[in-house]
Amino acid sequence: MIIAVDGPTASGKGTIAMALAAHFSLPHLDTGLLYRAVGLQCALNGGNPDDPQDALTACDFPDHLIADPELRSEATGGLASRVSVHPEVRAALYDLQRVFATQPGGAVLDGRDIGTVIAPEAEVKLFITASVPARAQRRYDEMRAAGRPVSLAEIAADLEARDARDSSRAAAPLIAAPDALVLDTSTAGREEAIAEAIRAVELLLQ
């Protein structure tokens, strides 16, 4: 069984995907970390994330980079959004994601194009969304808790810019698959959103 969980930044898709993986005893892959690693590696290389060749070169990142706390920063998130527009980068990371998705027993993957590109045959497709103000407040709280100085207004502006970039790119734009169930978590707490997603998956599997 493949469960595809897509949605924009800070919608709660990662939290929901991890909870679904635990509930259904399936391995989980946060595909956004792959693009964040490419974005961070591009910066470490002194490259330009808007340049296709620099971004493609950064796809050859060391395994330990996936555990770097800097991957969770807002700056790296912005870099990830910029390198992800390049078809060359998406092609380079496709096979890795595809192998994970099609492993025996199934898997849960979250990202922006799981249900549309990586695993269009997934038995369950969820698209998790939330308003920009709600998502900005969540990310603001996360960053403050981590001791990172941030501005709520700047986070909201960055989310809007990333949404526009992710939704308008030619390669695998951020859109809900036609057969995806859309869950809006704008007013839902963490546990409420997780419970709703689990109920939805169980209903879809009946």
Q: Is 91 left (phi over 0), alpha (psi -120 to 50) or beta?
A: alpha
- 74-93 pLDDT, tens digit each: 889 899 989 999 999 999 99
Compute the average pLDDT of residues 188-196.
95
CATH topology of domain 2-204: Rossmann fold (3.40.50)
Q: Burial level of 5, CB count in 10 A (0-12/13-18/19+)?
A: buried
How far is residue 10's CA from residue 17's CA, in Å, rounded to a whole number? 13
Q: Where are the domains of the chain?
A: 2-204
- Beta bridge partner(s), residue 128: 183
| Whether the Cβ atoms of residue 106 and residue 3 lie closer than 8 Å to each other | yes
Least confident of 52-66, 89-103, 164-178: 164-178
pLDDT one-digit tens code per residue, 164-175: 988 888 778 889
* Interacting residues of 58 by C-beta distance below 8 A, sequence separation 6+: 38, 39, 41, 42, 45, 47, 83
- Encoded tokens for 92: 């380079």
pLDDT above 90: residue 73: no
Task: Kindly report, residue by residue over 7-42, the tens digit of the pLDDT.
Answer: 998 999 999 999 999 999 999 999 999 999 999 999
Residue 181 to residue 160: CA distance in whole angstroms: 23
Question: CB-based burial of residue 173 (10 Å sphere; 0-12 exposed, 13-18 middle, 19+ buried)?
Answer: middle
Q: What is the pTM of this model?
A: 0.87
